[in-house]
Structure 1
């Protein structure tokens, strides 16, 4: 029930706001094996910014790039349908910029949710983020509709021709990420218990 309420609140808030979008295009290469419709969000909240970033033009949270969310959804679906007329399976790739920034994350989630509900397993949703798995524990959106992740900062010294572009980055399926998050949650609980025990011992 709590998650349904959270989703409803997210959706209602979208009625009064607009995502920042740099460009939406059909691509090869943003996903390791599938052709994609790639949505480049405008604005990155990483600080400092990644040296050698491929898309420095997407760093600024520039409101001139605000667009109607319904238009984004309709355009994305149309492009996906076009790709699926040729391929059995394709990807929706969310990147930027930073799709999981406070400014854009609700739109990234709702776009992924809408696409997965329409196309189901025909479309794989991949999200890029400079964040680590631990950072994702702090997000105020569900992660259910993102199928794959590229996580971690791009580091020029670790650049490679393979995928991901920086050897330190993690390419994870949703299932792999959720296992990591569960471990992190359990570790956090243990640490809190240890701190509480320590406090009691100190008071003796």
Structure 2
């Protein structure tokens, strides 16, 4: 049933601004970070470190197969020198209606390819209540940073503001 729902939520092609190696997007693992283009938060988070990713700009539309193959290739490279790595989905907003199908599909395909060698971390301005209400399947996500960035609550660490919630697999609800 989930796949039928997901197919109906698919919109266009993924909007991806950049795919890059990172040593700061995950709190402890080397990572491949996928920055989705477009954020549906209203108002936008004051002090967002990626305001260039706010617009749902179709110029950033990419073919999903090419994106998936590139991500799998780069994760394979990371795993040659690391026992465990992270795939980090952020943006913009990876769980916006426009990006959700693609973010979940990418997490699924990476988990099916690499299993527990890859930790999938998702950053979203949404709360867990929002995700549950919207029926978002989080089963392919291992960790999440939930909540809006609040500049006045900036921590200088992880997560970036003290109101954000960092949850690991064992803390995530199961469906």
Q: TM-score, normalised by structure 1?
A: 0.81
Cα distance in structure 1, aligned partners of 2:100 and 2:169: 17
The question of 1:94 aligning with 2:94 is answered: no
Residue of structure 2 in register with 1:114 after alignment = 109
Higher relative CO (Cα under 8 Å, sequence separation at least 6) belongs to 2
Cα distance in structure 2, aligned partners of 1:82 and 1:13: 32
Cα distance change on mapping 1:13 and 1:48 into 2, 3 Å: closer
The question of 1:41 aligning with 2:36 is answered: yes
More helix by share: 1
Q: What's the secondary structure of 2:82's corresponding residue?
A: coil
Give unmatched runs, 5+ long, in structure 2.
Answer: none
- CA apart distance, 1:112: 0.3
Q: What's the secondary structure of 1:178's corresponding residue?
A: coil
User: Given that residues 11 and 110 in structure 1 are in contact (C-alpha distance below 8 angstroms), is that contact kept between their aligned partners in structure 2?
Assistant: no
Q: What's the secondary structure of 1:85's corresponding residue?
A: helix
- CA apart distance, 1:65: 0.5
Structure number with greater Rg is 1
Q: What's the secondary structure of 1:99's corresponding residue?
A: coil
Match of 2:169 among 170, 174, 196: 174
- CA apart distance, 1:12: 8.3
1:73-84 equivalence runs, <5 A: 73-84=68-79
The question of 1:10 aligning with 2:19 is answered: no
Cα distance in structure 2, aligned partners of 1:178 and 1:120: 19
